[in-house]
Structure 1
Amino acid sequence: MRARDLIKTASPAAPLLNSIYRDDGLFWYALPMSSTYHGCRITVMGLGRFGGGTAAARYLADHGARVTVTDLRTEAELADELAALDDVPLEGIHVGGHRENDFVNTDMVVVSPAVAPSSPFLKMASFANVRLSSEIELFWNAKRSPIIGVTGTVGKSSTATLIADMLRAGGLGGHLGGNIGHSLLGEVDDIKPEDWVVLELSSFQLHGLRRLKVSPEIAVVTNFVPNHLNWHRTVEHYRQSKQTILAYQTPNDAAVLNADDLDVSRWETLGNRLTFSGGPSTQSTAIVKNGEIKLSHQEVSTSLTLPPTLDSPHQSQNAAAAATAALAAGVDIDAIATGLREFAPLPHRLEQVGQTLGRTFVDDSKSTTPRATVAAVEATPKPLRLIVGGADGDIDLRPLVDAAARSSVAIYLIGQTAIQIETLLRDFAPQARTIRCSTLRAAVLRAWGESRNGDTILLSPGCPSYGEFQDYRDRGMTFRECVADIAAEDSAQAA
């Protein structure tokens, strides 16, 4: 039966009975999985926006499981995800809400990383002794090859992509997946045991892997700044989740750590510690200085020139982290140099998307933390007109405010955090020019209307996208559409 023929809109769930739970909300069961899912009843909770849920449903169904998927979003909102499942034999699809039966009369629930542990439906499942798992756990249980895991508050995607490029250039696999938006579950049976896999790992995914008590053979930590506290609730819980990437390493493994981050540099691991630095450290495996990376590891001692795409404070550290991890994996210098030289900025990450009448538009919609915006502001040519704001992630916005006030001729505020940012700017930088805008489009048009020849208009929100947009990609595409409209109007007037 096709997916669209199974769709049912959920009725409201029955009221929850009061139950006793620990403060973390759930009793998780890290039971060993059997070698087959055949005949198991499995609920996939949340199809996700980047393919993880659909990949899990397809993988489990292909391995004989009786799969039901459930999501809070409506059929219309899930059109792409449901289309991707149209040829998958599923037992049911419940949209528009969750049903208690899907969480208590099942053998396992595969949980989307975005679902907080406080979810009442997860508490139902836990109370019913139902095993909780995730897409990344399914992959980990199935994989046969070594893993390079990359985490950190910012820089994960670029660093993971660079590592994968270097591995491929060296003929060592370089399969890339995880939080970067691509699930490797569908490819896991085709990945050779000798191939390296690169996984970008979010704090949510690492929180799940802690149940398995596993860490990657090579673990990379780019940096650490408190984030996602609306999910983790405390900084310590966020830190502990991140530290899972090191917690279960052995002396045969490698830990690639940021020597310039005083928090990360003290994290404990049994793995062989390798560090990278933007210059302060003189003892690191990779040191960035004057547009070059100096590498020193075992028999290797050389310097590589950074291409313009990586020659900024933020990107150069990502490049140093990637080069260190590649060395640990056995990649030769020529392949590392090729990976650096051929790197292309990822979509929505400091990506120049247009130039009109001397104005440059830069899409950094992937910036969902203040630290990412600070890095973007430092790397972007001035004069700068900055668009910031979004959903409230319960994080300290003062670093964003400080960078914006110091480096911008005008700051255009959008989203739920607009009032909060405006208040902080009024208190700490009353001289800053701020304009609150009702939508992103309004902000782009206002910035364009006030801009001058030579200005850069930068979208670097520093906050999650939820509210006006589905995700950072949706936000970035809206920005691009606005830029395209401006360019089209300018061309029409010039004709």
Structure 2
Amino acid sequence: MNKRVVILGAGESGVGAALLSKKLGFDTFVSDLSEIKDNFRRELDDAGISYEEKKHSEELIFNADIVVKSPGIPDKVAMLVALREKGIEIVSEIEFAARYSKAKYVCITGSNGKTTTTLLTYHILKNAGINVGLAGNIGQSLARQVAEADDKEWYVLELSSFQLDGMYQFRADIAILMNITPDHLDRYEYKMENYIQSKFRVIQNQTEEDAFIYCLDDENITKELERREIKARQYPFSNVTEVRAGAFCHNDEIQIKVKEDVMSVFTEQLAIQGQHNRYNTMAAGIVARLFQIRKPAIRESLISFKGVEHRLERVLSVRGMEFINDSKATNVNSTWYALESMKTDVIWIAGGVDKGNDYSELMQLAGQKVKALICLGVDNKKLLDNFQGVIPTIVECGSMHEAVKSAYYLGEKGDTILLSPACASFDLFDSYEHRGREFKECVRNL
């Protein structure tokens, strides 16, 4: 009997899963509640894959043997609950694709820093000549790459909690957990414990042959580790504590220790600066040493890495003011790192869709560094309630053009204009990328 694979969602991961399913000879159907983008619709047409858009037809979905779900669809949706009650398997695109690939995986998750760490790790491995691909929550989907017979020996995967929630048999050869801070709690019944368990799925199925790299300075991680028996070899990294195996930073020198061998690099040599990037560098550096890449090659890659668009990205200097695009900061902890790394007075642009934010951890930094807050969102009440009396000047704006103009007039030579929203973007923008691009365009038009 021909296996029927139904894919819910026709974005990059959904279309990738559909292409792989079709290639494997399965009866493939794609269903998307929204309108499918033209480029993805063309791909489905060209591949002869049947699909529907702007609806979910139960008679075409409930006859599935397996459902591959977009990470954006919450597990509590009535259709998914009904599918599970019928005993139909529901998996993520990563889980589905990995079943048909012989590759090994470096898997990176965390509330913050995972994109930079993923790209930095990929940069180091690729420069060292390793047959490595990049997938997950970034770039082309894993399923697409497996379908295109572009299967690699290794993949570096950036994994969100939503992707991990749909992964069951998958095993990470090297798992990295950067940090766990409150984020997406609306998807986890506003319970931090549920979110922590989701992040720790990155080490499920690991054996003694595998490696687990994690931040020793993160209280949520260390508390959870006390409750667990970890099979994999452990490599913690820290800005505070010297470790026997792993990495730590002391007096602006990062030391990486793997198998009794020590490698060091000075933070001033790194292309990416700031405390958060020390963590990213330590995690990627441990991976590089596990691969036994030569130390000069690792240093060269660390020095040449250019960073990530929309993550503390320098845009322009206008009238002596630096404009920084940190649109990827969609939670409070990301913004904490951004403000912590600022060396001048800051005009801070923030706001958007609040995900259950607790702004208390930003109070001290905001009081020390921020001279003006520009609230850019449909509903700014929470920002206003928290920062009135902490930040001298607070302005509300309804568009990016208005926000950038206000920042320009409020700023002086030597100030930094920082877009670091601490919120999701969906009230005024399609995505954090759309928000970041608009910011850059408005700055260039000053």
Task: Map residues 350-389 of structure 1 onto 2, 5 A cutoff.
Answer: 350-389=312-351
Matched residue, 2:256: 295
- Rounded Cα–Cα distance in structure 2 between residues aligned with 1:184 and 1:106: 22
Matched residue, 1:275: 236
SS in structure 2 opposite 1:263? helix
Q: 1:381 to 1:47 in 2, by over 3 A?
A: farther
Task: Map residues 40-59 of structure 1 onto 2, 5 A cutoff.
Answer: 40-48=3-11, 51-59=12-20
Whether contact under 8 Å (1:257, 1:265) holds in the other structure is no
Matched residue, 2:38: 79
Q: 1:434 to 1:383 in 2, by over 3 A?
A: same
1:246 aligned residue (200, 203, 206): 203
The amino acid of 2:303's aligned partner reads: R
The amino acid of 2:314's aligned partner reads: Q
For the pair 1:413 / 2:375, whether they are aligned, the reply is: yes
Cα offset, 1:416, TM superposition: 4.6
Matched residue, 2:75: 117
For the pair 1:95 / 2:53, whether they are aligned, the reply is: yes
Q: Deviations over 1:449-481 (max 9, x none)?
A: 222112211111111111211111111111111
The amino acid of 1:436's aligned partner reads: E
For the pair 1:472 / 2:432, whether they are aligned, the reply is: yes
Matched residue, 2:396: 436
Matched residue, 1:21: none
Matched residue, 2:179: 223
- Rounded Cα–Cα distance in structure 1 between residues aligned with 2:109 and 2:136: 11
SS in structure 2 opposite 1:398? helix
Task: Map residues 115-154 of structure 1 onto 2, 5 A cutoff.
Answer: 115-154=73-112
Q: 1:237 to 1:417 in 2, by over 3 A?
A: farther
Whether contact under 8 Å (1:256, 1:274) holds in the other structure is yes
Cα offset, 1:367, TM superposition: 0.7
Q: Deviations over 1:111-140 (max 9, x none)?
A: 001111111121232233322122111122
Whether contact under 8 Å (1:229, 1:393) holds in the other structure is yes
For the pair 1:334 / 2:296, whether they are aligned, the reply is: yes
Percent identical among aligned pairs is 31
1:208 aligned residue (162, 166, 171): 166
For the pair 1:404 / 2:362, whether they are aligned, the reply is: no
Matched residue, 2:353: 391
- Rounded Cα–Cα distance in structure 2 between residues aligned with 1:64 and 1:397: 51
- Rounded Cα–Cα distance in structure 1 between residues aligned with 2:368 and 2:318: 25
Q: Deviations over 1:128-177 (max 9, x none)?
A: 33221221111221221221111111000111111111212222223111
Q: 1:226 to 1:168 in 2, by over 3 A?
A: same
Whether contact under 8 Å (2:366, 2:390) holds in the other structure is no
Cα offset, 1:441, TM superposition: 2.4
Matched residue, 1:8: none
Matched residue, 2:411: 451
Cα offset, 1:431, TM superposition: 4.8
For the pair 1:180 / 2:129, whether they are aligned, the reply is: no
Q: Deviations over 1:191-236 (max 9, x none)?
A: 34xx322111111111111x32x43111111111121111121211
Runs of 5+ in structure 1 lacking a partner?
1-37, 487-495
Q: Deviations over 1:84-124 (max 9, x none)?
A: 434121122x2223222233132222100111111112123
Matched residue, 2:444: 484
TM-score (structure 2 length as normaliser)? 0.92
Q: 1:108 to 1:431 in 2, by over 3 A?
A: closer
Matched residue, 1:236: 193
The amino acid of 1:478's aligned partner reads: E
CA RMSD of the aligned region, Å? 2.0
- Rounded Cα–Cα distance in structure 2 between residues aligned with 1:290 and 1:355: 31
Whether contact under 8 Å (2:245, 2:259) holds in the other structure is no
Cα offset, 1:401, TM superposition: 4.6
SS in structure 2 opposite 1:409? strand
The amino acid of 1:91's aligned partner reads: S
Matched residue, 1:256: 213
Cα offset, 1:372, TM superposition: 0.3
Whether contact under 8 Å (1:103, 1:124) holds in the other structure is no
- Rounded Cα–Cα distance in structure 1 between residues aligned with 2:442 and 2:19: 36
Q: 1:152 to 1:125 in 2, by over 3 A?
A: same
Whether contact under 8 Å (2:135, 2:157) holds in the other structure is yes
For the pair 1:462 / 2:414, whether they are aligned, the reply is: no
Whether contact under 8 Å (1:275, 1:324) holds in the other structure is no
Aligned residues: 438
SS in structure 2 opposite 1:473? helix
SS in structure 2 opposite 1:466? coil
For the pair 1:317 / 2:276, whether they are aligned, the reply is: no
Whether contact under 8 Å (2:370, 2:391) holds in the other structure is no
SS in structure 1 opposite 2:340? helix
Q: 1:102 to 1:289 in 2, by over 3 A?
A: farther
Whether contact under 8 Å (2:335, 2:421) holds in the other structure is yes
Q: 1:372 to 1:68 in 2, by over 3 A?
A: same
Cα offset, 1:422, TM superposition: 0.9
Whether contact under 8 Å (1:401, 1:421) holds in the other structure is no
